[in-house]
Structure 1
Amino acid sequence: MTAEARALTRRLQAIDPWEPDPDRTRALLRDIGGAWADCSRSVHELLPVLRRFSTRQAAPGTPAPGEDGPPPGESMLAELFHAFHARLAPAGHVSLSCVTLASSPGQATPRVTRPLDDRIVPTGSGRLDELLVVGDPAEASATLRARYGPPATGTWLGLCSTPDTKTVERTRARATNVALIARALNYTGGIYTPDDVLLELLATGDADAAATLVTLCDGIADSEVLLDTVRVLIHSGGNRNEAARRLFVHRSTLEYRLLRIHELTGINPASPRGLMTLSASLAGLATGHPSAARIPPPTRGQEPADPAHHPPIVP
């Protein structure tokens, strides 16, 4: 280890994890993380130092680890890890993805069985149940698959990203909820993001899910024809033949509109889940979201219907 690297290690060891001014601690960690990258050292060389912070005794009168947020070593790891990769990034900016693994009952959590590269660090004690991965969800997912291959049967990974290290703990909690929801719904084992379980996250009081939901219709907000098509399909219980009849259009015209809605929103209105998602999005817009003013009122083909007596969903 070079003299500069040893000096940086000593600086890290000297940090007080219970420093009352968190901004000062974050500034020190950003400085050390960036300088460590300049030394061309692996970020994993600093993990043993950070692990010790998780068990160091707090000063009298300060919260103990786990009583007020994550252990200090974990939050410090996120700050250091982010600064390390921000220094290496061409634009000086990176996102972090929190990954949480949920296993089938009785199935042991996988352990790290090979050296991790600098894009992945475990936040647990040598296990893969909680990870920090560099990049947005698409980049982080590709990194995980390249490193470990497809997730094993009976394992669900929740993946959620953030550009701000101050929200890492909340991001990790969202990733945990995503993994637990995917397991509870018995989805195929794999990697899931909040977008995959958006409606279910609403049941957890997830404010980010609600904010995402109400923006889904932005792509069709200026099209009265497409909005009416969604509304009529909802009132028709997903029955496309019935929706075409109410709209006074040919079935092929309706299919074209549904394709355009899919292209503009990323949500497939022809699927039961997609239609439920668009229905919830329109409901959110109607309750005061800024985009609501852009949404024109219903026009034709939308006579009130009893939701309990919708026609069956048919292809």
Structure 2
Amino acid sequence: MNKKIRITLRPPVKTNYAYEKLRCCRNCRSYTALGEENCTICGKSALRSIEEHARHAAKRSLINDLLLALLLTLIAILFSQTFQMMTISAVSGIVLIAVLYAVHRKVLVNRATFELSKMFVRDRDRIADGLVRNLEIAAAQENEARSYELMREIAVIIRNDHIRKLQIILLQSILLRKDMELELEPLLLENFDPELASYIGELAKIKRELIKDRAFQYVIRYEQQILAMENGDDILAGVAGAAVRMKRYVLAYTGFMARYARKLPKDRFLRLYRIVTENPDANWGALKAETARIYEEKYQWDADFQQIKPRSTIHDV
């Protein structure tokens, strides 16, 4: 019986930089990477993006400089002994204020970037505390979909195996579909994990385009542990089937491909056979002989294989 639940995952909000996920509360200065409307600490509707917070700090710096210039101008006027000196002080002050305003307006973006850097240094403990709270909130969700979505937001900023493991566990409780916005490389762990291996096996069925070099290397590194799993052969064969998407993957992992070529379904083996046959001068190692052997045993009379002719280039599918 399949105990996995059917849910809909909302696509992640994509940003150019990880820190853009952070928001800061204007009231209590706590940080969050989640999309809540009100601050979870003070309850106020005072959250704003960290970039907006930095721009506000840069503008406040401009106002402080202008106020200082105005104060110096007023002091100069106050202590002027003649009307002429008062006039000169006033005109000089106005010019100074105008120049300061123009310069600040011109460098506002750079000033905001500087304020952002200061904020990361000054508030690093507050940011860390906020992300720990976010993690607790995500883990406490009863809705698996919502919990995973929150974990995914946090994982953009906190990159460690603990967060990845929690995400994988949640994904393994969900019935995955091809139309979902899934990911793999950000979830790869340093050590072997059977849940991750099972997840890779599922992606090999529904979204093989997500399986790339780092995933191939992970599977090959822990091949023996995966083989010891109940469905380990199927996982490894599925990964081999994902490799035949591109000639360079087959060339890069010829030994792995030779070990699991026999378990490929017909459509994936046809693709493998085409790649090897149409590129006879490539260094296929044992894969070339294994491919020929499987062809002779299972497919030499198959019409789909008879149309394959040697050529110098191929197109990825």
Q: With the length of structure 1 as denominator, give the TM-score of the two structures.
A: 0.28
Q: Which has the larger radius of gyration?
A: 2
Normalised by the size of structure 2, how large is the TM-score? 0.28
